[in-house]
Amino acid sequence: MIRDITCIACPLGCEIKVEDTENGYLITGYTCKKGKDYALQEITDPRRILTSTVAVEDGVLKVLPVKTDKAIPKDMLLKCMEEINKIKAKAPIYVGQVIKENILNTGANLVATRNLAKKE
Ligand code: SF4
């Protein structure tokens, strides 16, 4: 079986092919090692940065945009979303502040992507 993967490691967006052969994965179409590594990871352990929002207490806004500070396994995205839905952050909050450490033992922290002041 051959899988087509568009490399997202840089704006060139090389079209990479990964063929599962009896001698292992045959990877072609990449321009650099980054792309080869990306394609291999996408086949063996696909990961994504998760972006979402959490509810906020005492803030000038009711929700805060957040993201994981590193890519997490794709099959953990839904479980992490369920966990994120339980969180209530307390204002004031600063950009980069850790809202949830090591979310569901993925090794990634959930961090704020903006400042959010406390309601006066
Ligand atoms: S393979 Fe290399 S050059 Fe091509 S998109 Fe990926 S990172 Fe960029």
> Same domain for 21 and 58?
no
Q: From the CA of 100, how far away is ligand 1's center (Å)?
A: 32
What CATH number has the domain bearing residue 56? 3.10.530.10
- Residue range of the domain that includes 74: 51-112
> Same domain for 63 and 20?
no
Q: From the CA of 15, how far away is ligand 1's center (Å)?
A: 9
* pTM reported for the whole predicted model: 0.84
The amino acid at residue 68 is: T
> Same domain for 57 and 108?
yes
> Same domain for 37 and 16?
yes
Q: Are 14 and 30 in contact (CB under 8 A)?
A: yes
Q: Which long-range contacts (CB under 8 A, 24 or more apart) does 72-78 make?
A: 72/47, 72/48, 72/103, 72/106, 72/107, 72/108, 73/45, 73/46, 73/47, 73/106, 74/46, 74/47, 74/48, 76/104, 76/106, 77/48, 77/50
* Position in ligand 1 atom list of the atom nearest CA 10: 8
> Same domain for 13 and 55?
no
Q: For residue range 11-67, list pLDDT tens digits in order.
A: 999 999 999 999 999 999 999 999 999 999 999 999 999 999 999 999 999 999 999
* Structural domains of the chain, count: 2
Does some domain include residue 118?
Answer: no
Q: For residue range 68-92, list pLDDT tens digits in order.
A: 999 999 999 999 999 999 999 999 9
Q: For residue range 86-120, list pLDDT tens digits in order.
A: 999 999 999 999 999 999 999 999 999 999 999 98
